[in-house]
């Protein structure tokens, strides 16, 4: 069974909420990415999203844009990320999603990229700029490889389109809790419960909420409305702050563990 599907099935059986962390792959190095992944597995992270560095990350705010720049600066490429995933797989079964822009997949070739990702131990792809209407061939190849294709739903998505999107997705649905790009926020959205209910009316897939969640208190509040909570920029910001420290993994893991504890307390 796919690790993402298995993870959410286990969470449902145990009545627990999921905790998903996003980091930029190769920030500050791929060795650090591997170390962080293994530490996060022990710190309570259920699913890891690895952002594949791209020169024009339109969906990302400043924190993640800078992480992408640092990843590119460290020489990170999609093939090197897959090699890092394979290295992680020697010690960990943490579910891994690649957060990626389609141009990077197209450059390699759709079928080859998906096959290589599955072989390396990737469990799913979240392709930021590939709408479901253009995804027939992509979805078929993903199903063949046993990978989950994760789709996004936004606060501005009309209900008929929500129905269309969620019926095409697999693994879980990623609900963007606010309009705009990624980034830390002072407050979480106040309308999460009705928005999640609108999505749940059309799917049995788990619903994860992300974008803007920055503190344990916010993570706990969001967990009350969702099946899983996604934290990205706040963790990436910690990596930026401690990137030159020999204690990078330990320092970031303390913060991640505080978020995981808040999510699991629901």
Q: What is the pLDDT of residues 113-139, one digit of tens each?
A: 999 999 999 999 999 999 999 999 999
Q: Average pLDDT, stretch 188-203?
A: 89
Quick one: which of 86, 90, 85 has its CA closest to 52? 85
Interval 141-161 mean pLDDT:
97
pLDDT confidence bin for 244, thresholds 50/70/90: very high
- Check residue 212 and give its pLDDT: 85
The full set of domain ranges for the chain reads 3-264
Class of domain 3-264: alpha beta
Examine the residue annotation and report whether 115 is marked as an active-site residue of this protein: no
pLDDT band at 165 (very low <50, low <70, confident <90, very high): very high
- 60 is known as an active-site residue: yes
Name the catalytic one among 27, 46, 60, 123.
60
What CA–CA distance (Å, rounded) separates 220 from 264?
8
Cα–Cα dist 24/68, whole Å: 6
The reported pTM is 0.95
Of these residues, 49, 116, 123, 227, which one is catalytic? Answer: 49
Q: What is the pLDDT of residue 61?
A: 87
Average pLDDT, the chain: 95
């Amino acid at each position: 069974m796919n690790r993402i599907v298995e993870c959410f099935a286990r969470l449902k059986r145990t009545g627990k909420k999921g905790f998903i962390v996003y980091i930029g792959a190769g920030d500050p190095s791929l060795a650090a990415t591997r170390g962080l992944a293994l530490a996060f597995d022990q710190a309570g992270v259920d699913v890891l999203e690895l952002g594949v560095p791209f020169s024009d990350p339109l969906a990302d705010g400043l924190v993640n844009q800078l992480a992408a720049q640092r990843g590119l600066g460290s020489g990170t490429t999609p093939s090197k990320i897959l090699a890092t995933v394979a290295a992680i797989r020697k010690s960990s079964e943490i579910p891994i999603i690649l957060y990626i822009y389609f141009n990077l997949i197209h450059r390699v070739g759709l079928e080859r990229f998906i096959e290589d990702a599955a072989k390396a131990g990737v469990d799913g792809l979240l392709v930021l700029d590939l709408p479901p209407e253009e995804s027939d061939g992509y979805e078929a190849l993903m199903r063949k490889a046993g990978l989950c294709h994760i789709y996004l739903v936004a606060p501005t998505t009309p209900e008929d389109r929500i129905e269309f999107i969620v019926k095409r997705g697999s693994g879980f649905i990623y609900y963007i809790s606010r309009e705009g790009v990624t980034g830390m926020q002072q407050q979480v959205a106040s309308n999460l419960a009705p928005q999640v209910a609108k999505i749940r009316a059309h799917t049995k897939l788990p619903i994860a909420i992300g974008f803007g969640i920055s503190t344990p208190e916010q993570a706990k509040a969001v967990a009350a409305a969702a099946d899983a909570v996604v934290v990205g920029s706040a963790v990436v910001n910690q990596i930026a702050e401690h990137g030159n420290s020999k204690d990078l993994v330990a320092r970031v893991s303390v913060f991640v563990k505080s978020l995981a504890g808040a999510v699991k307390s629901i």
